[in-house]
Chains A and B, each alone.
Chain A
Amino acid sequence: MAHAHATHHPINYIRVWFILVLLLIVSVAGPFLGIRWVTLLTAFGIACIKAVMVARNFMHINLEQRYISYVIITVLVFMLLFFAGVSPDVMKKEGSGWVKPSWQAAAAASSAAQGGAAHH
């Protein structure tokens, strides 16, 4: 059981935890600035950093057999492919040979309401 990482440079787990907590505080504080790109950066950028820190320092993924990282990267790429393939259907109101009637009706109702408000 005592394997590879016993021979590697020891990790100061409490220091890693402290950095993770600091990053959490930054991610909570980010939205208070009211700047959209800062919020996205502090929320999702920091989430990625925290995830990598946990995977490397707590799960020791970098000390496992190399193919473990390849398996994890492969399934993450599958998720990106899923997103790329499905998101146009979800996020667009019309495409080549198809429309979303409910979205078009909602958009028409919205513009009619705005037009009515402008007349008054």
Chain B
Amino acid sequence: MSSAVRPIATTRSAAGMPTGKLAVWWVIASEIVIFGGLLASYIMHRLAHDAWSAQAAHTNTWIGAFNTMVLLTSSLSAVLAHQAAERGDGPKAARLLYATVAGALTFLVVKAFEWTGEISEGFTITSSTFWSFYYTAAGLHASHVIAGAILMLWVAADARRNLELHRVELIGIYWHFVDIIWIFLFPLLYIAK
């Protein structure tokens, strides 16, 4: 792609950094308010209702821990992809992004099995306020995992041909943020019982 037709977000650096990267940080700041509001609401309700601990006792800590491990590992492959892109090795960056997508799919498959088990035991989104928060928070996070995986496939397809390698870092920043959200969801939903 010639520089004449490249998106302005790729080339302009009016704020001391490429506009595309600034946009990603801006998205993350907005997402902090979305997830932060949800988690703050959960925490205040959880502190006010001791009975929620009986509901939380039904979540599976080991499944949550496994998925945390999966996301931490996918963050590693994402940052290694960024490192490869910095060195100009697009094909390697693409392979590492595909590995990150594999992590995302593993996370989603495990979550699907987990939810199937919980729903079959009668714990649905309308069972109680705890389960409403549980499915809303985990579901909102899972939707971000799906979005991240789709975007990573797109970025990897270009990176494989050594195109738009700067986007590897941008999708990586987003993915690490998704990881951080789960880092807080894990103790809130799976450990605090």
Residues of A within 8 A of B (CB): 1-2, 6, 13-14, 16-17, 20-21, 24, 27-28, 30-31, 39-40, 43-44, 46-47, 50-51, 54-55, 57-59, 64-65, 68, 71-72, 74-76, 78-79, 82-83, 86-87, 90-91
Do B72 and A24 touch (CB < 8 A)? yes
Residues of B within 8 A of A17 (CB): 72-73, 75-76
Residues of B within 8 A of A24 (CB): 65, 68-69, 72
Do B165 and A1 touch (CB < 8 A)? yes
In the assembled complex, how far is the CB of residue A77 from the closest CB belonging to chain B, in whole angstroms?
Answer: 10
User: Which listed residue, B25, B179, B191, touches A27 by the CB 8 Å rule?
Assistant: B191
Residues of A within 8 A of B192 (CB): 39-40, 43-44
Residues of B within 8 A of A (CB): 15-18, 25-26, 28-30, 32-33, 36-37, 40-41, 43-45, 47-48, 61, 65, 68-69, 72-73, 75-76, 78-80, 83, 85-86, 165-166, 169, 172-173, 176-177, 179-180, 183-184, 186-187, 191-193
Do A20 and B25 touch (CB < 8 A)? no
Residues of A within 8 A of B172 (CB): 58-59
Do B44 and A87 touch (CB < 8 A)? yes
CA distance A41 to B38 in the complex (A): 22
Given the interface pairs A6-B86, A59-B176, the reply to whether A20 lies near B193 with Cβ below 8 Å is no
Given the interface pairs A71-B25, A87-B44, the reply to whether A78 lies near B176 with Cβ below 8 Å is no
7 contacts between A and B (CB under 8 A): A1-B85, A16-B76, A28-B65, A43-B191, A46-B187, A71-B29, A78-B33
| Given A13-B80, A65-B17, A91-B47, 20 further pairs, Cβ under 8 A | A1-B18, A1-B86, A2-B86, A17-B75, A27-B187, A28-B61, A44-B192, A47-B186, A47-B187, A51-B184, A54-B176, A58-B76, A58-B78, A68-B25, A71-B26, A79-B36, A86-B40, A87-B47, A90-B45, A91-B48
CA distance A54 to B85 in the complex (A): 19
Residues of A within 8 A of B183 (CB): 47, 50-51, 54
Do B29 and A75 touch (CB < 8 A)? yes
Do A44 and B16 touch (CB < 8 A)? no
